[in-house]
Amino acid sequence: MGEISHSPSSHKLNIMPDTSTDDSEVTESVDTHTTASHHFDKQLAEYGPLAHVPTAGTYLPAFAGELQPGLYKPVKERKIANPAPLGLAGFALTTFVLGCINMQTRGITQPNMVVPLAFAYGGLVQLLAGMWEMAAGNTFGATALSSYGGFWISLAMIFTPGGFDIESHLKAADNGSVGMFYNSFGLYLMGWFIFTFLLVTCTVKSTVIFFSLFAAVDIAVLLLAVGYLHRPGGAPYTPLLKAGGLFALLGAFLAWYICLAGIADTSNSFFIIPVWHFPWSEKGWESRRRKSEAV
């Protein structure tokens, strides 16, 4: 029989042979992976630089580059790459183009150019990233990326020229008026505003950038929805559409910022992307506790 002992200095689980028997004469050492330094080193290889500091035992603080809005357990044996930056990149580029169109940049008023992006990059690629987040065990990331992948695909279906004839059928049903289409599209966007607001509530204990991304997107969708529902002259209210486009651009650049945070680490970058935790977040409480103990 073997005697199991735990050494605090080495943090190893040592299976020592019992000298009273002859069953074994070999000493085995099994790493229990319980030290904070081990998790720190593990994260250097598996996560971006913003997720390196454990705050509560084996948990890591909120990290936008992983689309983790709260404390989460580190992935011990990652079998796939971090899918969050890919999904964020798809969302950012598609949102950037649509935001420019809503702001009528260089006189562009038709959304045709966003259709291929919405189908391929913001749609299919982001949907796949969401499925990979599900495989990685990240419920928030899987829900957000998969849902917005579906959003972009559905938006592409609406604006595909001569494809699904959604606008023409609604126009015909409204005796040639586009009012029914505008109302339907406004309600469609309002539904996405409600969904995005749910995601915003899950980021209030994370980081400033993480929260700001979903807040900007939520405001953008709300402004666009109201712009299509509120039509003083019969057409969508242009000032609200332009304001929605501005917040969409803000959301796009925040998504790119977080994407970079997820892929940049000490192995490929000379700088670390800064992060600001909310004072009421777990990381904020931990920082204040350490300062009070140091006084």
190 found inside a domain = yes
b/e per residue, 155-188, with b = 16+ CB within 10 A?
A: bbebbbeeeeeebeebbeeeeeebebbbebbbee
104 found inside a domain = yes
124 found inside a domain = yes
pTM (2 d.p.):
0.76
Summarize pLDDT for 28-53 with one digit per residue, the tens. 443 333 333 444 444 444 444 444 44
Listed residue (194, 193, 172) closest to 181, CA to CA:
172
**Domain housing 209:** 83-264+271-284
52 found inside a domain = no
236 found inside a domain = yes
C-alpha distances (whole Å) from 82 to each of 89, 101, 212 are 13, 31, 21
Q: Is the pLDDT of residue 81 over 80?
A: yes
Distance CA 172, CA 175 (A): 5
pLDDT band at residue 212 under the 50/70/90 scheme: very high
Distance CA 78, CA 191 (A): 35
